[in-house]
Chains A and B, each alone.
Chain A
Amino acid sequence: MRRQLRSRRAPAFPYGYRHRLDDQDEVNQNYLADEEEEAEEEARVMVVPDLEEEEGEKEEEERSQGKMTGNAWWQKLQIMIEYLWDPERRMSLAQTGQSWSLILFIYFFFYASLAAVITLCMYMLFLTISPYMPTFTERVKTPGVMIRPFAHSLNFNFNISEPDTWQHYVISLNGFLQGYNDSLQEEMNVDCPPGQYFIQDGSDDEDKKACQFKRSFLKNCSGLEDPTFGYSTGQPCILLKMNRIVGFRPELGDPVKVSCKVQKGDENDIRSINYYPESASFDLRYYPYYGKLTHVNYTSPLVAMHFTDVVKNQAVPVKCQLKGKGIINDVINDHFVGRVIFTLNIET
């Protein structure tokens, strides 16, 4: 019984390791069992035990010994293969088909239970989370800033006389402003009074209305009059957008303003910038934002910067900052919170 167990447990080593005491007893017991068969033999003190006695075992040992003498690698490989699939005992990886199915069953059961546990936990999580209001907004308290056109780079490099170098900016801006088309805005959104918050009380799951921000507000930068947004004349328009944050409200009576200047170097590299809307600010009526589930048509306000007179043929680093109470624009390791830095290099 014990022996069976052992060999099943260690199939890769079929010939047992018999140095252990209990094993030796086992051998002794074998001796006892067939002790009557053979009569006597042997000489002197250190006697070689009768060979016939353990014929079976001997044979096996010899076989394995033969194997031993072979190439060690070959032998290892054989053991490996036998471990993977042992045709004699119909075992793979030291397990029989039956035990494999048991293992699979138990693991299946185990993982199924785990799946149940995590499902339950996730369910509980969703119970505690509102789909309308984020639980914590501390990590996005202050809005980030993005500019358009955006082409995975913050360097605006173009040559006025070569439309190919700036055409993609125009396309990008045009595409971006499609959602701001006056007709669309008038159709979808309401015209709400400027200078004050557009507060819509009511339960969380009620749909909210959105204020209009028309393309025409951007005047010279709307692309309506100058379809090249000034790029053809070397007076590029760049749109600035503040990141949406649920519940963000600028200080009452003090809307967030945008101001740009040369970041490093000669202040006079930029001689004039026109802002549209002229206030260079995001009107209060666009706040607060109620989240995308209910505030479906919300249109982010924009400020367009028209760089009408910039030094040409030279890279000019520009820093545009948001200004207003509650706005942080000097976080050291985040260059997009409350500010954005880009370079203009207009060639003629």
Chain B
Amino acid sequence: MERGGKRGKVSPHGQHPSRKPKREPKIKTKKKVKRDTKKKDMEELKKEVVMNDHQLTLKELSTKYSVDLTNGQSPEKAKEILIRDGPNTLTPPHTTPEWVKFCKQLFSGFALLLWISSILCFVAHGIQLYFNEKSSSDNLYLGIVLAVVVGITGCFSYYQEAKSSKIMESFKNMVPQQAQVIRGGQKMQINVQDVVVGDLVEVKAGDRIPADLRLISAQGCKVDNSSLTGESEPQSRSTDFTHENPLETRNICFFSTNCVEGSARGVVIATGDSTVMGRIASLASGLKTGKTPIGAEIEHFIHLITGVAVFLGVTFFVLSLALGYGWLKAVIFLIGIIVANVPEGLLATVTVCLTLTAKRMARKNCLVKNLEAVETLGSTSTICSDKTGTLTQNRMTVAHMWFDRTVYHDDTSEEQTGKFTKGSETWFVLARIAGLCNRADFKADQETLPVAKRETTGDASESALLKFVEQSYGSVKEMREKSPKVAEIPFNSTNKYQLSIHRHEDGSPGHVLMMKGAPERILEFCSSFLLHGQEFPIDDKMKNAFQDAYSELGGLGERVLGFCFLNLPSSFSTGFPFNTDEINFPMSNLCFVGLVSMIDPPRAAVPSAVSKCRSAGIKVIMVTGDHPITAKAIARGVGIISEGTETAEDIAARLGIPISQVKARNAKAIVVHGSELKDMNSEQLNQILQNHTEIVFARTSPQQKLIIVEGCQKLGAIVAVTGDGVNDSPALKKADIGIAMGITGSDVSKQAADLILLDDNFASIVTGVEEGRLIFDNLKKSIAYTLTSNIPEITPFLLFIILGIPLPLGTITILCIDLGTDMVPAISLAYESPESDIMQRQPRNPKTDNLVNHHLIGIAYGQIGMIQALAGFFTYFVVMAENGFMPLHLLGIRLKWDDPFLNNLEDSYGQQWTYEQRKVVEFTCHTAFFASIVVVQWADLIICKTRRNSVFQQGMKNKVLIFGLLEETLLAALLSYTPGMGVALRMYPLRVTWWLCAIPYGIVIFICDEVRKLIIRKRPEGWLERGDILLTSAEELRMTRVPRARTELDTSERAYELEADTE
């Protein structure tokens, strides 16, 4: 925590960044000021990285950090700085303490509603006590029960989330890293966290960069920046200042990236949170995330429920005053009615439903960190996906070859089972060059692994070649043993080629020179080319073919390498001292063999997943740090830019017109470069997001990713972001649902995400979407089911007030329904299978397709609930009448009935009842009313199963639901018939006939709803236009409309094609 306070202002160029305390949310006093600074900091974080260290000369650098560039700092000074700046670690993302998390579970959304009602109950009880109102302690019990319910549910969901965060914990690996620094002229190994600004650091291949470094010397150094920028290829590093943008310049290495090749020495220019990586991480952890869609839905629901409750409460408050009750009584009634409207069991039901889905998703490799995020994927309308590692495998693989004037394709799937075998002589030569003129090697002890899975040392493209040769040609090791390397010129950016000289394979004294590199460079060295093993002189025809192939492969976003060789004349036989500095061997008139192109290939499951998202109405946007061409190629490969759609450039190229003449709206796809994005205002970004269906953002910085996500959200979309790198984490956090990769993902990204794909498979997202949509539909059903019984629970109290009849249903029995019999059936609806193909639907519109809307309330309260209430009252009157109290006799009897001193109350037959005797009858009525609610809830459960289909179409395949029916009945019987219940819960055994009273009403409910569904199915639009009373939600509308929307889409596409052709 003490580190948290020291989080500096984030400007790595400042030597002594002012250490403003900025995140101590616990201190309440300076809240306002703090919020302002925090806000400012956030804004600053969102801006691009500003630093100038890369532009300084070494001398300036030395002065700036007052460090000797050969001997480094003195250990004493380092210690000072360490004390000043704090250790070189990222502040762990502001983790909320456990008790705060727990309290959040206890006091959020729905729980708050229950707390308020609980408090209201205590208030009512307090009033009654204070004014010595003789009455039962119902309000006290109700208050306690409500509090207990919230408490238990809170604990439960806390436990659930704690469990998934425990799985999270296991991801963290806490291996302390070492760094080699030079202090006072001495090389020493220290812990990474002790590295300070100004230290001289040495890194070599395989090391993790310990802090942001400005290089002062480098030998063939390459770093893997993929976790920071998303570039899949290693970037070479030197001491030259090559680009204004610190992220692109060559002389800066970034904290927590990896050095994959060579070695380098640099000055630490920033540590810990002020590093570029640290800034992104703190940007991510500083972002406020909005409400989850389901959270918003629940809030909407609470508004509706409270609206109804307050309306009813106030109405009856006025009514009861008008009826002559005292104000005290009226207030008690008011509170009673408001509390009675709260569905006590719903919180638990929703929590359990979400938990069940979360578990189901975890089984399908989607680990949900936050319960409410379960549904979010279902409402997602836009997915912003990172490319590297999410859509692609994040490893270079040989994709194409060009030799013998033909392009060959290689298998790029994850398993790489297909072996590439060609009988051509040229192929053997090509494979030999690829294997020999190659510095990559397999790491030891991996013989048992399949080739594709083995780890290698060295450059990604060389590794790709190595694996490729190993797989399709044979053991590279053997090959290298047979023809040992005698000399080599490694690849560098000025040469753009790599050369090596090997002994002949057959042991003859001659040597062979092999070369690979940038194709145009290689071709310059050559005078002949190999065709089916025969050498031919290079002619124009061949050159043209080469150009075509090169641009074709390049256009696929692949990295292309050329290969050539030369059998050295016999004068260069064994023992010849090859000198690679002053070249003493021929390097011209080589023989060109072919081209090999490599790419980080898309994962196999991605294209089908993308197309599934498409058909589910979800827009998939690629947001990557990689280059536009590669990005576009992958986008095409996975279907983010679908076949047949073109970007403005494509149209221009096809029609042969300048790009400025292409009408923007004709191009449905677009590739936006990060530098263009930088100059855009939000309006322009909106235009892009609105007017193009297929979008690729390339070369984007983490901040821009954030802006894109915000842009989508501003347009009303619910955005999912997938990513694995640190650069994705701000966007992951900002998104409505952030999806991180479990295997390859960085810890920071996992921290920021809401959902983790344990198998790194983009296709799991589709499962997530499906589950999310299903749970939304099913929650709707659960809520409809649960809400319905609210009416038969409230009306008894209302009639008790108005008509003065003995209370037909008591608090205990209400709780028995809400927390007992209704629970399992409501939860069982979560197991309901979808009514139609949910993946063919549009995503729900968060503004109109609500979880609970007035249609649902209207049907639950106004129709089904009313029938249920009638069923209850009928049973009540039957019990009363059969015991001697005729319905009319009951009207207005309330005061006498509830008078404990009146022990000779006359019934309709003139019999006289003691207080206790008639109370037993009253409680029997409660039990009977309860039983009849259970009976009508059977019917309600069956009709809530479906919202559109008939039960006969849908069937009763949901076993949990059938179990729920049985369970609720058994529980009701148990409550009624267990001896001693009369004392414990005041529930009494019922006659069999009293159970049957409600059955006709159950049948009425069933028939009514089947008719309603029939009308919806037959004439959806007709009823809709004339007042949508019968519809339960916009969901039905959506269901019926989709096919039409799809045909429209088709025709518009066709029209677009026609128009494009005529242009």
Q: What residues of chain A have their CB less than 8 Å away from a CB belonging to chain B?
A: 2, 5, 8-10, 13, 17-22, 24-25, 27-29, 31-32, 35, 40, 42-49, 95, 98-100, 102-103, 106-107, 110-111, 114, 117-118, 121-122, 125-126, 129, 131-137, 139-140, 143-146, 150, 152-154, 241, 243-246, 289, 291-293, 295, 298, 331, 333-337
Contacts and interface: CB of A to CB of B under 8 A. Distances in A.
Given A45-B649, A48-B684, A243 B664 contact: no
Interface string B615-627: 0010100000000
Contacts of B617: 20-22
Contacts of A22: 617, 842, 1045, 1048-1049
Contacts of A241: 904
B382 to A, nearest CB: 7
Interface of B: 381-382, 617, 619, 647-649, 659-661, 663-665, 668, 670-672, 676, 680, 683-684, 687-691, 693, 712, 715-717, 842-843, 845, 847-848, 862-863, 866-867, 870, 873-874, 877-878, 881-884, 886-887, 901, 903-904, 906-917, 920-921, 924, 991, 997, 1000-1001, 1004, 1021, 1024-1029, 1034, 1037, 1041, 1044-1045, 1048-1049, 1052, 1055-1056, 1059
A261 B869 CA distance: 50
Contacts of A243: 903-904, 911-914
A232 B841 CA distance: 91
Contact of B1004 (A17, A117, A140, A146): A117
B1027 A32 contact: no
Given A20-B843, A117-B1000, A289 B910 contact: yes
Given A21-B619, A102-B1026, A246 B909 contact: yes
Contacts of B1021: 5
B1048 A24 contact: no
5 contacts: A18-B690, A21-B1049, A99-B1028, A134-B911, A136-B882
B1048 A152 contact: no
Given A17-B716, A24-B691, A295 B1029 contact: no
B215 to A, nearest CB: 35
Most chain-A CB neighbours within 10 Å: which of B688, B842, B912? B912
A32 B1054 CA distance: 11
A291 B916 CA distance: 21
Contacts, number: 232
Most chain-B CB neighbours within 10 Å: which of A22, A143, A289? A22
A295 to B, nearest CB: 7
B878 to A, nearest CB: 6
B911 A246 contact: yes
Contacts of B716: 17-19
A-B pairs with the 3 shortest C-beta distances?
A292-B910, A99-B1027, A47-B664
A16 to B, nearest CB: 9
Contact of A28 (B862, B1000, B1025, B1052): B1052
A103 B858 CA distance: 11
Given A135-B882, A139-B883, A243-B903, A20 B381 contact: yes
A144 B874 contact: no
Given A125-B877, A153-B901, A24 B690 contact: yes
B916 A337 contact: yes
Nearest to B885: A134
B874 A118 contact: yes
Given A9-B848, A19-B715, A24-B691, A121 B660 contact: no
Contacts of B684: 46, 48
B117 to A, nearest CB: 25
A26 B1052 CA distance: 9
B264 to A, nearest CB: 37
Nearest to B381: A19
Nearest to B921: A139
Given A5-B1037, A17-B845, A334-B915, 5 more contacts: A9-B1034, A29-B1048, A32-B1055, A140-B917, A146-B903
A221 B274 CA distance: 102
Most chain-A CB neighbours within 10 Å: which of B693, B924, B1028? B1028
B791 to A, nearest CB: 12
Contacts of A154: 901
A328 to B, nearest CB: 12
B882 A10 contact: no
A10 B1034 CA distance: 10
A102 B873 CA distance: 29
A243 B905 CA distance: 9
Most chain-B CB neighbours within 10 Å: which of A13, A17, A107, A139? A139
A140 B913 contact: yes
B1029 A106 contact: yes
Contacts of B862: 107
Given A9-B848, A144-B903, A45 B672 contact: yes
A48 B1037 CA distance: 33
A145 B903 contact: yes
A133 B909 CA distance: 7
Nearest to A10: B848
A177 to B, nearest CB: 16
A102 B1022 CA distance: 13
A106 B680 CA distance: 54
Nearest to A143: B912
Contacts of B1056: 28, 32
Contacts of B847: 10, 13, 17
Contacts of A40: 661, 663
Nearest to A45: B648
Contacts of B1029: 102-103, 106-107
Contact of B916 (A17, A45, A133, A336): A336
Contacts of B1048: 22, 25, 29
Nearest to B866: A114
B70 to A, nearest CB: 49
Nearest to A242: B912
Given A99-B1027, A144-B904, A291 B909 contact: yes
B1025 to A, nearest CB: 8
A143 B903 CA distance: 10
Contact of B904 (A24, A48, A133, A146): A146
Given A46-B676, A106-B1029, A5 B1024 contact: yes
Contacts of A152: 901
B911 A42 contact: no
A66 B303 CA distance: 27
Contact of B660 (A19, A27, A43, A336): A43
Contacts of B693: 21, 24
A21 to B, nearest CB: 5
Contacts of B1027: 95, 98-100, 102-103, 106
B341 to A, nearest CB: 20
Contacts of A46: 664, 670, 672, 676, 680, 684, 687-688
A49 B668 CA distance: 13
A140 B908 CA distance: 13
A95 to B, nearest CB: 6
A244 B688 contact: no
B930 to A, nearest CB: 18
Contacts of B1001: 117
Contacts of A122: 874, 877, 887
A42 B1024 contact: no
Nearest to A292: B910
A239 to B, nearest CB: 12
Contacts of A121: 874, 997, 1000
A148 B508 CA distance: 135
Most chain-B CB neighbours within 10 Å: which of A9, A19, A27, A110? A19
A274 B989 CA distance: 44
Contacts of B690: 18-19, 24, 27
A169 to B, nearest CB: 16
A342 B155 CA distance: 51
Contacts of B886: 129
A5 B1041 CA distance: 11
